[in-house]
Amino acid sequence: MLKKINRRKFILFTAASAVTASAFGWAIAQNRKTSLNSPTPSDFNPPTSSQLYKSASGLLEVDIAASLKPVNLAGKTAYLLSYNEQVPGPRLEAKPGDTVRIRFTNNLSEHSNLHYHGLHVSPAGNADNPFLNIPPKESFTYEFTIPKNHPSGTFWYHPHHHGMVAGQVFSGLAGLLVIRGELDEIPEIKAAKEEFLILQDFDLDYNGNIQPPHHMAMMLGREGEILTASGQVNPNLSIAKGGLLRLRIVNASASRFYRLVLEKHLFYLIATDGGAVETPVELKELLLSPGERAEVLVRGEREPSQYRLLNLAYDRGGMGMMGGGMGMMHGGRGMMGDNSPENPQVLATLTYQGSVSNLPLPQKLIPVEKLPQPKTVRRFELSMAMSPGMGMAFLLNGKEFDPQVVNTQVKLNSIEDWELVNIDPDLMDHPFHLHTNAFQIISRNGKPEPYRAWKDTVLVRGGETVRIRIPFRDFPGKTVYHCHILDHEDLGMMGIIDMQV
């Protein structure tokens, strides 16, 4: 039995948890003294390059093993979950038309599996099937074909075993999956220096172990104090005066949002989750909720010096009403957290090195199809409710995830509009994610989206209604949509969609 929650009940509920929660806050405060997230520019450490596996003659074949191993995190030993003992995991690169074959071995002590976030590939059989379960000590071979017309872009893989996703991703399991193609061939983009930034946050105890989450942290969505970009704290990125830097950024954190700015520089957005936009979009800041990706160009147009890539405070809601002892909690609407305007978090440092004659920005990228307005409009309500004993349930259309129930039946080769409604204006933001088929954002609260782009994860703020347009193409079968604050997904905010001819 689930009871609808309103703001007043939520206050009462959270107040009841305040004793333990402030203990949690104390732990964070203690931790901060030894925080590894130093705001001073780093010594010259470039982002870690994970091992790179590229397809050859149409095939990408790779062994990936998940295990709990000591890895080096910011110069300290941390006991993380990793793919092939690397955090982030190996970088996989394929091209449209390639076959991808991944032999996955689960060396964890719990169930796991793999999901290929953002890829337009089959969700069935041994392809991108989120319902597969690979028990401890077992192996499984995933195989799928990247369609010939698949967009080039920045995708990623991570575990997807319901109930354990947040814990496993928060412990380090994530890796890049890059599709190389037409975007990479545009001359101005080819001329840019490429860097990948996989954003992950960690919460370690003094012995380097991941801290088990507090109940409250799970409801908010767990966040860690140690921020890393491609496995490093504050790595150095270099740019030549006059040059271009292509940053390919993935929010691979379980719950943390990143509101990115680069001191004294603009971002020129060239790609979103599902690949290129039509023409670069100039941005002062870039907000990435969990699961989202963006590619931006940065111009080496300033005085040679060092500039910080900052994560500014963003209020993703939920805890504004808690006050007092909860001041240390992360992510609360109206809370101080660990990220104040005077002391923003530093993710990386850009350093000028050398110079080249001015490289131009590209004018045109890749056309983004204009989808016709469909007749079918579905409504999805994102909400929270009290559940007996457990605390809070996270719901889609009033229901918790049930692996036996198909919530949404769609016709293959059709287009639908979905209205995503976050019905709790005072509560939390939810980044909504759909597997298999990318979509376009049409409007937010009735206001048309300023440019067309392919997305697979869209932020739905508290009280907001977001309309998206989805073409269901190529692949029949069942898959899922869910909140990409992975604790919310694990706590029920997920549904099953069946796509059939």
Please report, as ranges, the residues that interact with Cu ion according to CB under 5 A.
117, 430, 435, 483, 485, 488
Secondary structure of 337-372 as H, E, C letters: CCCECCECEEEEEEEEEEECCCCCCCCCCCCCCCCC
482 binds, among ligand C2O, Cu ion, none (CB under 5 to 8 A by kind): ligand C2O
160 binds, among Cu ion, ligand C2O, none (CB under 5 to 8 A by kind): ligand C2O
Sheet with 408-411: strands ordered across: 408-411, 494-500, 477-483, 430-434, 457-460
Nearest partner of 499 among 454, 418, 436, 405, judged by Cα: 436
| Beta carbon nearer to ligand C2O, 262 or 470 | 470
158 binds, among ligand C2O, Cu ion, none (CB under 5 to 8 A by kind): ligand C2O
| Beta carbon nearer to Cu ion, 237 or 434 | 434
| Beta carbon nearer to ligand C2O, 130 or 224 | 130
Tokens of 388: 């007996």
Nearest partner of 448 among 337, 370, 384, judged by Cα: 370
Binding site for ligand C2O (CB under 6 A): 115, 117, 158, 160, 291, 433, 435, 480, 482, 484
User: What residues does 299 pair with on adjacent strands?
Assistant: 244
Give the shortest CB-8-to-Cu ion separation in angstroms: 21
Give the shortest CB-154-to-ligand C2O separation in angstroms: 13
Give the shortest CB-431-to-Cu ion separation in angstroms: 7
Count of other CB atoms within 10 angstroms of residue 101: 16
Helix (H, G, I), strand (E, B) or coil at 320: coil
Give the shortest CB-200-to-ligand C2O separation in angstroms: 14
C-alpha to C-alpha distance for 385 and 486, rounded to whole angstroms: 17
Nearest partner of 168 among 227, 106, 234, 232, judged by Cα: 106
Count of other CB atoms within 10 angstroms of residue 303: 8
Pairing between strand 267-272 and 293-299? antiparallel
Give the shortest CB-332-to-Cu ion separation in angstroms: 15
| Beta carbon nearer to ligand C2O, 159 or 332 | 159
Q: Is 18 left (phi over 0), alpha (psi -120 to 50) or beta?
A: alpha
Give the shortest CB-433-to-Cu ion separation in angstroms: 5
Token pair 């039509």 is found at 278
Helix (H, G, I), strand (E, B) or coil at 69: strand
| Beta carbon nearer to ligand C2O, 128 or 203 | 128
Query: Using CB atoms, what's the residue nearest to ligand C2O?
Result: 117
Q: What are phi and psi of 64, to 5 degrees?
A: -130, 125
| Beta carbon nearer to Cu ion, 53 or 257 | 257
Give the shortest CB-458-to-Cu ion separation in angstroms: 12
| Beta carbon nearer to ligand C2O, 235 or 492 | 492
Helix (H, G, I), strand (E, B) or coil at 38: coil
Give the shortest CB-150-to-ligand C2O separation in angstroms: 17
Token pair 């992360």 is found at 330
| Beta carbon nearer to ligand C2O, 152 or 253 | 253
